């Protein structure tokens, strides 16, 4: 198991991301001032996103059924806990976007290769250490 998003398990037989990208933003709005640089104010954490991407070879790995299952999860609009293979809780995330590119098509139109990307957005406000502690109790 590489990671789980809710009850969906990312593994070689389902969706196995070959790359992950994690983006965290902190907010620093500015106010213009006369004769000097704008003043900044730290407001705290902003958006946190994760992008999971990889290539599926349906003959050997997961394929359309796995992507459809993740799409069904996205349709609910719910947030799901993201836990990596080491048991580390990363927070609660919603699925914002799924992209799938099909290539090396067979005679029936099915793909031998599917490149995918899943964009997740963090929605919880709590520290993940607090969440992990509560889950372990």
The pTM assigned to this predicted structure is 0.81
For 107, phi and psi rounded to 5 degrees? Answer: -60, -30
Lowest mean pLDDT among 41-50, 58-67, 88-97: 58-67
SS3 at position 40? strand
Q: What is the residue whose two structure tokens read 């098509």?
A: 105
Cα–Cα distance measured from residue 95 to residue 119, given in angstroms and rounded to the nearest whole number: 6
For 72, phi and psi rounded to 5 degrees? Answer: -65, -40
What's the pLDDT score for residue 127? 61
Whether residue 87 has pLDDT greater than 70: yes
């Amino acid at each position: 198991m590489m990671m789980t998003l809710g009850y969906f398990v990312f593994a070689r037989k389902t969706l196995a991301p070959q790359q992950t990208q994690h983006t965290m933003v902190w907010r620093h709005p500015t106010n213009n001032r006369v004769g000097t640089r704008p003043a900044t104010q730290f407001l705290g954490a902003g958006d946190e996103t994760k992008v999971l991407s990889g290539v599926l070879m349906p003959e050997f790995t997961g394929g359309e059924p796995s992507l459809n299952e993740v799409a069904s999860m996205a349709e609910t609009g719910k947030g799901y806990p993201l836990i990596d293979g080491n048991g580390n809780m990363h927070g609660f995330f919603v699925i914002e976007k799924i992209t799938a590119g099909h290539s090396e098509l067979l005679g029936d139109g099915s793909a031998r290769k599917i490149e995918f990307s899943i964009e997740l957005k963090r929605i919880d406000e709590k520290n993940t250490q607090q969440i992990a502690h509560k889950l372990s109790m």
